[in-house]
Structure 1
Amino acid sequence: MVKEKKIIGRTEIIDLPELGLYNLPAKIDTGAETSVVHCEDMEVLEEDGHLYIVAHIAASDDSDDTMEIRFPVHRERTVKSSFGQSETRHIFRTKIKIFNELYDIKLSFRDRSAMTYPMLLGRNFIAGKFLVDVSKRNLGQNLR
């Protein structure tokens, strides 16, 4: 039996519970291979032969408090930005909540402060689960 794919709009509101991020606006980008979330303060550390990504994320929009999150690096990947520049991204695994369901997702951090959306959902996450209707927005909102 073929599982029916859910339809998502060109933007969706998502949660990243393991990062403490909720009601995050995300742009759906079928041209991007990997998914990325905004973070201005992160570093990659090596401990006992393993790489970890450590990030400091604002606890909320109305607070100066930050939380430190730490994930093992799943893999390193060289990607070309939309501007044609190559850079190494450190991919980690976490959970995403969309349409009131939890999914596994592979993410990287990047400074997206100049972008409209703090989150970009790429085709590695979308493929096999969702179809994109670019005429719609935030279809999962009514399920929250």
Structure 2
Amino acid sequence: MPTQTAEIHAENIASSTNLVPLGWREWVALPELDILRIKAKVDTGARTSCLHTFRMEPYTDEAGNPRVKFWVHPIQHDLHQVVECDAAVIDERMVSDSGGHREQRLVIQTTLLVGESHWPIEMTLTNRDSMRFRMLIGRTAMAGNSVVLPESSYLAGEPVLRTIK
């Protein structure tokens, strides 16, 4: 739980700027992927955001565009809840993880919903089974949209899906 001082600081930031105050972890949604709630680590050390996928099937659509079908367990330690997703592939990038291991990853673009705010982000897809969070929000996704208060958690509250429409 955020301290009362952090909550006041977050309210001041939100009212004086267009920036969304974020704690070090937040509940977010990816509505275009039908992921209505997923816990994300706010990671200023990561350039690009990433999403856990336990299975991926890249393919080419009828128009010759690269796409990927992928499956997500949005809740850590819950292998019964599965969301099947489909998205256009916008790039393939070599990414280094926190352990220094390099991996070629598919990149998609989707809308990130944080509280009542939303904006487009790029995100890589990888298996994060051994990680504590199913999603990372990297600094590129945060730039110009948010400010991080690392002493706090869940400042944005639950994602508000009605704000996307």
Q: How many residue pairs get matched?
A: 143
Deviation by residue 1:43-91 (Cα, 9 ceiling, x = unmatched): 2223454321111235889784745322111111111111112111111
Quote the residue 1:120 is aligned against. Answer: 136
User: Percent of aligned pairs with the same residue?
Assistant: 28
Give the TM-score of the pair, scaled to structure 2: 0.76
The answer to whether 1:88 aligns with 2:90 is no
The one-letter code of the counterpart of 2:118 is L
Within 5 Å, give how 1:13-32 maps onto structure 2: 13-32=27-46
Give the TM-score of the pair, scaled to structure 1: 0.85
Which structure features the higher share of strand residues? Answer: 1
The runs of at least 4 consecutive aligned structure 1 residues that moved more than 3 Å come to 46-49, 57-68
Q: Distance in 1 between matches of 2:133 and 2:57?
A: 22
The one-letter code of the counterpart of 1:50 is N
Which structure features the higher share of helix residues? Answer: 2
The one-letter code of the counterpart of 2:128 is R
Distance 1:25 1:62, change over 3 A: closer
Q: Distance in 2 between matches of 1:38 and 1:10?
A: 18
What are structure 1's unaligned runs of at least 5 residues? none
Do the aligned partners of 1:20 and 1:59 also contact (CA within 8 Å) in 2?
A: no
CA RMSD of aligned residues (A): 2.5
